[in-house]
Structure 1
Amino acid sequence: MFPLYDENQTRITPYLTYGLIGMNILVFLHEYSLSNEQLELFFKLYAVVPRELTTNFAGEWTTLFTSQFLHGGWWHLISNMLFLWVFGNNIEDRLGHVKYLIFYLACGALAALCQWFIGMNSGIPSLGASGAISGVLGAYLIRFPQARIMSLVFLGFFVTTIRIPAMILIGIFFLQNVISGLASLQVAANMSVETGGVAYWAHIGGFVFGIILAPLFGLFRREY
């Protein structure tokens, strides 16, 4: 199930949403041009490495922001940018360009801290725009609970499009992350080695902080 577009009209051009998508694509193309050794060093410098953040927060705090523009593969990038494309424009329209950018980056940084809190001594890099985008989804849910999203649905060999209430689509996203996040804690508790995978707690944290912060940024009043 993949969102294609929403039914709400915006009154301003979402320049920042387009710009964020463009920056993520450009950074990923740079990643793609690197050798494995260079990419490993690139991630070490600009992704959040929890162990490094724990021991040297003053020198590593900028990675809470730079990590938001890194992605681990084509699918990671495409899925994130699709959600940002569909949901970001209306949140930018409601917050205004400047507040939207601050909100987006703040959600991403707080989401990264949530993931860091779960595994402070992990040496596995944490990266991606998912935490920031989860904040956008949280804001969208409380601002447009009755909206419907045109979505692409795969039914075996058949592909169709249906209009799904935003509350259901985003609710499924959140519940999946909560269930997977709790499962990941159980796995980690039963293992003596680090495990990689999806940063579920960054998704959850970003979503919750999006709900909390968006009204403070003026979600329920329009700015131009």
Structure 2
Amino acid sequence: MFIPLHDANSLKHIRLQYVTIGLIIANVLMFFLTAFGTEQATTAVAYGLGYIPSVAFGYAELPPELVFLPEDMTYVSYAFLHGDIFHLGGNMLFLWVFGDNVEDALGHVKFLIFYLLCAVAGALFHGMLAPDSQVPLIGASGAIAGVVSAYLILHPRVKIWILAFGRIPLRIPAFIALALWILFQFAMFLAGGEEQISWACHIGGIVAGALLVLVLRNRDVPLFDRQIVTPRAVVVEQPSAVRPVRAEPAPRWGRQ
């Protein structure tokens, strides 16, 4: 729908978005560690680290040789796997453009918790709608969807540069691009869009992000770009000093 390029939105509470950078590095490293093996190896990784609803809900079991983590951990681990370089690049670009300001609003630790919980929510909603599915879910899209909805609530009026339809450069308020993106996710979910994309995972992340940002943001961070007006100490100007008029003593007259 669109490709985000840049937002003119400086950090206000942190010096460096090192959690956002760390998440991008972790995703890129995981991709290069898992995506270039044999087809059998990449399939094993997808089944071992991806989220499989039927396994998570106890309707099926993985072969022992594919069990890399406790099943509950796959609610998070799936979000660090990607199918190809375009899948990875799109998610990481969204995280790079929008993640820093959400991290700025929440703080480092709470942003990491926020990101992981959005990933969990995406997987959970996907699994609830297809509990018997044996197809692994992979990708950071659920967590990224949460970041997008949080950014929309925090900074709807910030101007962002995008490539509309992948080719038209535009500088528009964030609420136009991001609200349309979110509406598109819901439309595709209701219409039963492409089968290879879990629109349910996106919806789970969007809803989780919108709710969590209300709870986890720092107290001095406003919503919807509202300004917090701090009362200033008002100095009341004193009137200029008035020199009092002295009553001069009455002249003494000598006795006649």
Q: Given the two structures, how large is their TM-score scaled by the length of structure 1?
A: 0.88
Q: Which amino acid aligns with 1:198?
A: I
What whole-Å deviation, never above 9, does each CA across 1:113-164 have from its counterpart, x for those lacking one? 0111110001111111110111111111111111111112358xxx442112
Corresponding residue of 1:113: 124
- How far residue 168 of structure 1 moved from its aligned partner, in angstroms, is 1.2
Corresponding residue of 1:218: 217
- How far residue 173 of structure 1 moved from its aligned partner, in angstroms, is 1.2
2:217 maps to 1:209: no
Corresponding residue of 2:52: 49
Aligned-partner Cα distance in 2 for 1:86–1:25: 16
How many pairs align? 210
2:16 maps to 1:13: yes
Which fold has the larger relative contact order, with Cα–Cα distance below 8 Å and residues 6 or more apart in sequence? Answer: 1
Aligned-partner Cα distance in 2 for 1:17–1:25: 12
Q: Which amino acid aligns with 1:3?
A: P
- How far residue 205 of structure 1 moved from its aligned partner, in angstroms, is 1.1
C-alpha contact 1:152 1:160 (8 A) present in aligned 2: yes
SS of equivalent residue, structure 2 residue 178: helix
SS of equivalent residue, structure 2 residue 135: coil
Which structure's residues are more often helix, by fraction? 1
* 2:189 maps to which of 145, 164, 181: 181
SS of equivalent residue, structure 2 residue 35: helix
Q: Which has the larger radius of gyration?
A: 2
1:135-214 map, 5 Å: 135-153=146-164, 159-184=167-192, 196-214=195-213
Corresponding residue of 1:123: 134
- Provide structure 1 residue ranges, at least 5 long, that are not aligned to the other structure: 188-194
Q: 1:219 to 1:146 in 2, by over 3 A?
A: farther
SS of equivalent residue, structure 1 residue 2: strand
SS of equivalent residue, structure 2 residue 157: coil
1:76-91 map, 5 Å: 76-91=87-102
C-alpha contact 1:7 1:148 (8 A) present in aligned 2: yes
SS of equivalent residue, structure 2 residue 134: coil
Q: Which amino acid aligns with 1:5?
A: H
C-alpha contact 1:148 1:166 (8 A) present in aligned 2: yes
SS of equivalent residue, structure 1 residue 164: strand
Q: Percent identity?
A: 38
What whole-Å deviation, never above 9, does each CA across 1:28-56 have from its counterpart, x for those lacking one? 11122211101111111100011111107
Q: Given the two structures, how large is their TM-score scaled by the length of structure 2?
A: 0.77
C-alpha contact 2:35 2:83 (8 A) present in aligned 1: no
Aligned-partner Cα distance in 1 for 2:52–2:218: 32
Aligned-partner Cα distance in 2 for 1:220–1:149: 25
What whole-Å deviation, never above 9, does each CA across 1:82-121 have from its counterpart, x for those lacking one? 0000000001111110000001001111111011111000
- How far residue 182 of structure 1 moved from its aligned partner, in angstroms, is 1.2
Corresponding residue of 2:227: none
Bigger drift between 88-97 and 173-182 goes to 173-182
